Amino acid sequence: MARPESTPHMPPIEIPALKDYSPGALDGFFGEILALFDQDASAATTVETVEELRIRWIGRKQGLLTRISEVLKGAPPEARREVGIRFNALKSAIEPRCDPEQLKATAPVTDAIDITLPGTRRALGAEHPLVRTMHEIVSVFRNLGYSVEEGPVIETDYYNFEALNFPPNHPARDTQDTLFIAGQESKPQRDRLLLRTHTSPVQIRTMEKMKPPLRIVIPGKVHRNDAPDATHSPIFHQVEGLAVDTDVTFSDLKGTLDHAMKALFGSSVKTRFYPSFFPFTEPSADVQISCIFCGGKGYRDGNRCPNCKSSGWIELLGCGMVDPNVFGFVDYDSTKVSGFAFGMGVERIAILKYGVDDIQLFYQGDVRFLEQFL
Ligand code: PHE
């Protein structure tokens, strides 16, 4: 007589009697056991009760299967095969259903769900404001027929400086507080690695692989050794542009950027080109837009406009005509083609567009800040 097995939630089970070892008696015996298991298993609807089911049926020591196999040890040799086949079939029917994983597949829908409860709202992700601004800038230029290029963030001295007409030891390099990768003193200077300080090296990489005409924008991450504060971050983003063709003029540059600034900030903004210097453009200019906070007046509600320091203008990006020396580095014939380039800070544009007062907010991952851009 088998010992009844009992667990806190389930009534004890008795192993049915086995009259003889004929195939018919065996079928009856195993059929009854499976029916018992089915009954037992139908009550196991929680992880806890499935675990009880498992211990009770396939637990190593006290499990019913173990005890059934002991009962069957008494089978005469000629019946062993028939017993074995049926025992294994029973085992493979039972085992998977003693795994709490199966609850997921077969959980009854009935009382597991209270339809009066409010639903679980799954928060939808959204583009980060910087990525969104970057996409917006890029799409303004895509609409003008520009295509997108990208390049490595870890760059060589050659691409970041030398080929952009910053000669070794030239003081113009000091304007970019460069983060160099350590331990490269044994390499020739042009091969030394650094974190690119601007997206301009991708101008060179693209001109090396493509012949003119060329119209590209280059969005990407850049680094400079600046201490973080409300307006500075050692990591920031730029979108670079480059157009090279026959007869490209400064007027084309002005028209293109004037259009882009209107597309980004509204059709009433004006642009102004102010003389500047970059080693890789000649002439070079800083582009200013009329202040979007005071409408270019310099005064707002009778007070000096703090955003443009009452000048009416906000400086936004650098640009210029590609210096012929740069074409020399990439085998473009500067007697046949000309071009312009520009580079703008994504953070700066996002700060102005969305009225953000601290650049650090972009990098802190605070949902209260980010969800305002949904
Ligand atoms: N690379 C320059 C910077 O980061 C910006 C620039 C790009 C200026 C292209 C002119 C032309 O300051």
- How high is the pLDDT of residue 11? 67
Measured from CB, residues less than 6 Å from any atom of ligand 1 are: 198, 200, 240, 278, 281, 318-320, 341-343
Dihedral angle at the C-alpha atoms of 68, 72, 73, 74, nearest 10 degrees? 130
What's the gap in Å between 308 CA and the centre of ligand 1?
22
Buried b (16+ CB within 10 A) or exposed e, 232-262: ebebbbbbbbbbbeeebeeebbbebbbbbbb
- Give me the residues of the chain with pLDDT under 70, please: 1-11, 105-111
Give me 72's structure tokens: 């069957």
What's the gap in Å between 281 CA and the centre of ligand 1?
9
What's the gap in Å between 197 CA and the centre of ligand 1?
10
CB of 252 within 8 A of CB of 243?
A: yes
H or E element: which one contains 27?
A: helix 23-42
- How high is the pLDDT of residue 147? 98
- How high is the pLDDT of residue 266? 96
- How high is the pLDDT of residue 108? 56
- How high is the pLDDT of residue 4? 46
Ligand 1, closest atom to CA 319? 10
> Which of 195, 198, 276, 317, when mutated, tests ligand 1's pocket best, judged by the most ligand atoms within 8 Å of its CB?
198
